[in-house]
A = this chain, B = another copy of it.
């Protein structure tokens, strides 16, 4: 059944049910950044495989909205489907809402699966449909009726984390959450963000690739704590643990039914961006809802000392993996056949062999030469480069371990490179190290610090079109809020003060289309420095200990302080990793971390 036929069948259903437009986003019921196959209805109906895209199907027209990363791919994948591509952010391209505003006629009906749309988006559509005096159906999963070969919902076994690597027990975390609710004058919380639920209950799952989370919901009331899990994902151990913790275990699929039946005492806190529209529909008119960020978000972001110590150990192991990859790459390039796919697989295998390894934390990006200029490049069987002894290779990879989530990027010299490439590389390294070594007053957000990493590039008239850093979870999602490091924020978007224990990436880069891409990414933790009459100073503790390729450094460009930063970093890399190495490897490390 080709795409056009799938859309035809959907239109038939729409006609039967008197629906004029059906809207399909890229989301599961939990606003997850990545989703499992089961939730890829948009991909099934459009053929477009990118990670971001929303599909709007009308009776006669169909449109797909996606962002700049996917313009070329989407154009290719949509060919012959009859779907129009809307290039988000380009001048004159309407948003989905603006498109509907223009085309949807008075009194028509818009349908979507309310579980796959945030409250925020749902409210926008509500307002639009009110204006149009039209109707919204939000309880329909239409594609399900035609997607015969739809895969089953994943339900990997849930596992418990030992409290000794969590730092806080479930009961302690629950108390913190309830205190935070009280601060907002709420008594109840409906939690549907998967990593927040995993954090709170000290459990992990495997229902989303690279994200160790289980499909779940939780409801916290003044005297009960409900957890909704898939029966297939349960083990005896998990059931016993939850019982001991007085958690009321419910079936994942009963969530909506239960939600409808609760007799609430006091207000319910609900996160507008991280909860789906259906949840709000089931609550409104039945209880007073207060919109506020999930209190779990900030609690989860500030890692406690136990978590931090676990991460230190995990990052040592992970940095050793990166060292071994670097050595293998440098010693074998030009001598054995090597492609972006095989080199990436080599890195992945090294990680898999590491003690405590659970999963990759995201699909490894291994990008050679000009492919590295595409920030989110993914090599594939059909489309990848051979690697030879020239130019640069960028590799961005990470793992999920018992004790932490890692993420690291290095760019390596494989042979001849231009002076421009070296200059770009050196500026990136200077920026990364300047930010890593920053000292700042408590109260700063990433916006205050971004220029430390970006400034060396701005001076050269170069920018990278993304933030400098994202938050990172603890054995959880590799992208975690609320912290980040950016220089520009969309009106009203969240900007978090950097609090002790927050983990962030520091990853400036240069992306020259058609030529080369460079990114150096270290991970760091916010910690307190001295406190004096001028205030509480803060700084970063580094977690990543992987050599920076000295073959790409142009020392002439560097200030004395930049050279000190680099030498100090390499001294620490050697001090931390050499005890874990055999003599021969130690010698190699000594050489690649030599002082300049």
Contact = CB atoms under 8 A, between A and B. Distances in A.
Interface string A428-448: 000000000011110110011
A90 interface: no
Interface stretch (A61-69, A140-148, A532-540): A532-540
A458 B559 contact: no
A461 B559 contact: no
A459 to B, nearest CB: 5
A482 to B, nearest CB: 16
Contact of A451 (B452, B459, B530, B561): B452
A342 to B, nearest CB: 33
A462 B529 CA distance: 12
B455 A441 contact: no
A289 interface: no
B488 A443 contact: yes
Nearest to A533: B513
Contacts of A335: none
B452 A439 contact: no
A271 interface: no
A234 to B, nearest CB: 45
A534 B441 contact: no
A463 interface: yes
A441 to B, nearest CB: 6
Contact of A458 (B441, B447, B450): B441
Interface range, A side:
20 to 34
A357 interface: no
A560 interface: yes
Contacts of A560: 559-560
Contacts of A448: 447-448, 450-451, 487
Given A534-B461, A561-B559, A440 B444 contact: no
A461 B530 contact: yes
Contacts of A438: 455
A559 B462 CA distance: 23
Contact of A537 (B441, B443, B461): B461
A488 B440 CA distance: 12
Complex copy number for this chain: 2
A449 interface: yes
A485 to B, nearest CB: 12
Contacts of A561: 559
A581 B57 CA distance: 77
Contacts of A559: 559-561
A175 B358 CA distance: 66
Interface in A442-497: 443-444, 447-452, 455, 458-459, 461-463, 465, 487-488
A438 B456 CA distance: 10
A443 B461 CA distance: 15
Contacts of A455: 438, 440, 452
Nearest to A511: B534
Contact of A461 (B449, B450, B458, B532): B532
Interface centre among A444, A449, A458, A488 (most CB of B within 10 A): A458
A299 to B, nearest CB: 22
A59 to B, nearest CB: 36
Interface in A529-569: 529-530, 532, 534-535, 537, 559-561
Given A458-B537, A537-B458, A560-B560, A463 B451 contact: no
Contacts of A443: 487-488
Given A451-B452, A561-B559, A458 B487 contact: no
Contacts of A439: 458-459, 461
B440 A451 contact: yes
Given A439-B458, A441-B458, A560-B559, A534 B447 contact: no
Contacts of A530: 461
Interface string A407-447: 00000000000000000000000000000001111011001
Contacts of A458: 439-441, 537
A488 B497 CA distance: 11
Contacts of A459: 439
Interface of A: 438-441, 443-444, 447-452, 455, 458-459, 461-463, 465, 487-488, 529-530, 532, 534-535, 537, 559-561
11 contacts: A440-B451, A441-B463, A443-B487, A444-B487, A447-B447, A448-B448, A448-B450, A448-B451, A461-B534, A463-B535, A560-B560
Given A443-B487, A448-B448, 11 more contacts: A438-B455, A439-B459, A441-B487, A443-B488, A447-B447, A448-B450, A448-B451, A458-B537, A461-B529, A461-B530, A465-B534
Question: 7 closest pairs, A vs B, by CB?
Answer: A463-B534, A559-B559, A439-B458, A439-B459, A448-B487, A461-B530, A559-B561
